[in-house]
Amino acid sequence: MSNGNHGGEAAQQRRGLMVFLALAVLTVVEYIVAVSLSSTPLLVTLLALAAGAKCWAITVYFMHVSRLWRGEEVH
Amino acid sequence: MAAAVSHGHEHADPVAHAWHRVRINRLGLWLFLISDGALFAIFAASRFYIAGTAIDAHLNQLLGLAITSLLLLSSFSAYRAETAFAHGNTAHGRTMLLATILMGLLFVGGVAYEWSIAEFAASEAYGTAFFSMTGMHAFHVVTGLLFLGVIWARSGSGRYSQGPQVWPVTAVVIYWHFVDVVWVFFYPTLYLLK
């Protein structure tokens, strides 16, 4: 069935799993950094970087932001 | 005449017309998310203005990590649901939608429990930030759960099993991911700073 999505279902599900694992690792790293560091400026910087990376991954891979300009039906 | 030809051409290719509508709907959804994101950004900025980077020492860190993990996992199941529907795998998509709903309910339950055991008042600086930010976010989670529930109930007849017709599932799932993105910033802002 032509459904406008790139790659097979299994490949897309695998990519989703990889993204989820990356997000989970970043979350654990955030927690460990927060309980380990005492320097507030460094902590704020590292947490902001981690949150930015997670936001980027979700926006690009889960929310498919590129479909705004690329479209979904184009192969 | 030209308009009539154009009108006739649209109906001659209903699939292309449906995809065109999806593109417009997607743009509208993202514009809404950007405006809603501005609201959450204001809440986050207010937290630093009224309470600095301080957090309450009695905050349950493990509970915060647990509900954060749940919301992250629900985003993954929502992605799996959307992917399954897009490939005509309605049964798996419905199962993943249900899993997303259950995890969302657990998240809301976790926030409610956190509220019930909080050792700080809403009148304190940090309490004001905590209750307003988690409250507004939980409100969005609940509305997302309602949308997911509607989609799950309507998907039983197989109406979301073709290309452009999957858009309602995609739209709700994008909204759910947006709620997760907001928490990606709220979690460190409320729980992890010092």
Tell me which residues of chain B, numbers 109 to 128, contact chain A at a CB-CB cutoff of 8 Å.
none
Give the closest residue to B182 by CA, choosing from A46, A51, A29. A51
Tell how far CA A52 is from the center of its chain.
9
CATH number of the domain bearing residue B177: 1.20.120.80
For chain B, the domain total comes to 1
What SS3 state is found at A68? helix
% of chain B beyond a pLDDT of 90: 77
Is some CB atom of chain B closer than 8 A to the CB atom of A36? no
Residues of B in contact with A6 (CB under 8 A): none
Q: Assess whether pLDDT exceeds 80 at residue B19.
A: yes
Report d(CA B19, CA B30) in Å as an integer: 17
Q: Which residue of A lies nearest to B20 if distances are taken between CA atoms?
A: A71
| Domain extent for B42 | 2-192
Q: Do residues B15 and B162 touch, judged by C-beta distance below 8 A?
A: no
| CA of B77 vs chain A CAs: smallest distance (Å) | 9
The ipTM value here is: 0.89
Region A30-53 average pLDDT = 94
B29-71 pLDDT, tens digit each: 999 999 999 999 999 999 999 999 888 878 899 999 999 999 9
CB contact under 8 A, A1 and B87: yes
Q: Assess whether pLDDT exceeds 70 at residue B4.
A: no
Q: Assess whether pLDDT exceeds 60 at residue A66.
A: yes
| CA of A44 vs chain B CAs: smallest distance (Å) | 7
Q: What are the DSSP calls for B128-176, one per residue?
A: HHHHHHHHHHHHHHHHHHHHHHHHHHHGGGTTT-STGGGHHHHHHHHHH
Q: Assess whether pLDDT exceeds 60 at residue B123.
A: yes
- Predicted structure pTM score: 0.91
CB contact under 8 A, A58 and B192: no
CB contact under 8 A, A73 and B79: no
For residue B11, what pLDDT is reported?
Answer: 58
Q: Which residue of A lies nearest to B172 if distances are taken between CA atoms?
A: A63
Is some CB atom of chain A closer than 8 A to the CB atom of B158? no
Q: Do residues A13 and B91 touch, judged by C-beta distance below 8 A?
A: no
Tell how far CA B33 is from the center of its chain.
10
| CA of B192 vs chain A CAs: smallest distance (Å) | 5
All structural domains of chain A with their residue ranges: 9-65
